[in-house]
Amino acid sequence: MTEIFSPKNIIVTGGAGFIGSNFVHYVVNNHPGVHVTVLDALTYAGNRENLAGIPDDRLTFIHGNICDAELLDRIVPQADAIVHYAAESHNDNSIADPEPFVKTNVEGTFRLLEAARKYDVRFHHVSTDEVYGDLALDDPHKFTEETPYHPSSPYSSTKASSDMMVRAWHRTFGLRTTISNCSNNYGPYQHVEKFIPRQITNVLEGIRPKLYGAGLNVRDWIHTEDHSRAVWTILTQGRLGETYLIGANGEKNNIDVIEMILSIMGKPSDDYDHVKDRPGHDRRYAIDSTKLQTELGWKPLYTDFESGLKKTVEWYTEHRAWWEPTKQATEAKYKKQGQ
């Protein structure tokens, strides 16, 4: 049985982004003895409002860049652990301009690993199932921790690079690390450029939703709260040097998701437009989370995708002031790309 790690001060990089901020809320709500320092560059995907309502005595917010070694020298010595969410993560953006992805995902991870090594701080790296490439639509297999890496976009290749560096720093320098690779998250605070919030906010704005190609591409959806619980479980109970896959058996093709959103929102299920497919668009992702479930006892709570999706629709309907400021610019960018 692995000894339980009980951090008191954690740094969460990218903690003002979608998945990172949900993790911060989860920790603050469920682990009262933990103080969280959020380090976030507040690029377009980070939003200070995502952390609204968290008591000041539980949270320190630092507006800064993970590539800033001097800043890391100031804040890392006070931490027990770094939970590394910060990443450029949008495939379309990586195709249009890969450079920020290399800077943040590769160099940024290197800077954090070096700071963690210097001050002997535990390091959990949050990654993606996209490092494994994709599966055929009719393939019965799912990704496991043993699946070879086969990234297909500039985004996923930079995440694959960062995963490899974390493994190397564990093996070569003995850094106390864990890695998680997760399937597609959904839930509150997700930027309107992403698939589910884009469709929900389109309907709320009276715009017909957009579907890439034939819509047969399959994603394995997990509610962000289940992801947060899994990351905490791995951080505190995971075996050092190990990788754990996080998934909730939520495979759905894009056409089913868009039609489910429309029907939840009281629209005809065919009320959407097809747009040209993304270059190199991965066909299917599917996660086998057996290792996480059997070794560490984690189980997803949101096992009914439709009810999780209904809650997500409600959140975007009730929080128009949160997403409206970024909606127009996002749609203008997609229009320029013909999407």
| Type and span of the H or E element at 162 | helix 154-173
Q: How far apart are CA 127 and CA 115, in angstroms?
A: 19
- Joined tokens for residue 89: 């993560």
Instruction: Choose, from 130, 134, 226, 331, the residue flagged as catalytic.
Output: 130
Active site residue 129: yes
Instruction: Choose, from 85, 155, 272, 285, the residue flagged as catalytic.
Output: 155
Instruction: Choose, from 129, 225, 242, 282, the residue flagged as catalytic.
Output: 129
Active site residue 138: no
Q: Going edge to edge, which strands form the sheet with 218-223?
A: 184-186, 218-223, 251-253
Mapping DSSP to helix (H, G, I), strand (E, B) and coil, where does residue 190 land? coil
DSSP 208: P
Active site residue 73: no
Asked whether 163 and 125 are in contact (CB, 8 A), the reply is yes
Q: Going edge to edge, which strands form the sheet with 9-13?
A: 59-63, 35-40, 9-13, 81-84, 122-128, 177-182, 243-246
* CB burial of residue 338 (10 Å; 0-12, 13-18, 19+): exposed
Active-site amino acid positions: 129-130, 155
